[in-house]
Amino acid sequence: MRYSNVNFTFLLIFQGDPQFVTANTTKIYLNEALHYPNGFSVVSVSSAGPNTVTWSHVSTNHIEVVHNPEMVKNGTVTVAISRN
């Protein structure tokens, strides 16, 4: 996990190891007013292929990344958030 306060980008990469990834939702907090005042873009991908990871803006300052632990098993999930 990494955040750059120079270009306001957040990057999260995690392994889909079923021993550690037991839920299908990853919750991410982002301070919209401070870091993303004009909005943000999210890219979420999985090494398991297309349509295995989705995201939604569930409320101010919160997004959720939904993934199927079985589909991403032993692969990686990458989430990148950038300023608009």
Q: Which domain holds residue 65?
A: 2-83
The residues, any chain, with a CB within 8 Å of residue 6's CB and separated by 6 or more, are: none
Per the structure, the count of domains in the chain is 1
Q: How many residues are given for the chain?
A: 84
> Tens digit of pLDDT for each residue in 49-65?
888 889 999 999 999 99
Among candidate residues 26, 18, 35, 34, the one with its CA nearest the CA of residue 75: 18
Q: How are strands ordered across the β-sheet holding 53-59?
A: 25-29, 62-67, 53-59
pLDDT recorded at residue 34: 94
Confidence of residue 72 (pLDDT cuts 50, 70, 90): low
Confidence of residue 81 (pLDDT cuts 50, 70, 90): very high
> Tens digit of pLDDT for each residue in 9-32?
999 998 876 776 667 889 999 999
The pTM of the whole model exceeds 0.95 = no
Q: How far apart are CA 81 and CA 71, in angstroms?
A: 23
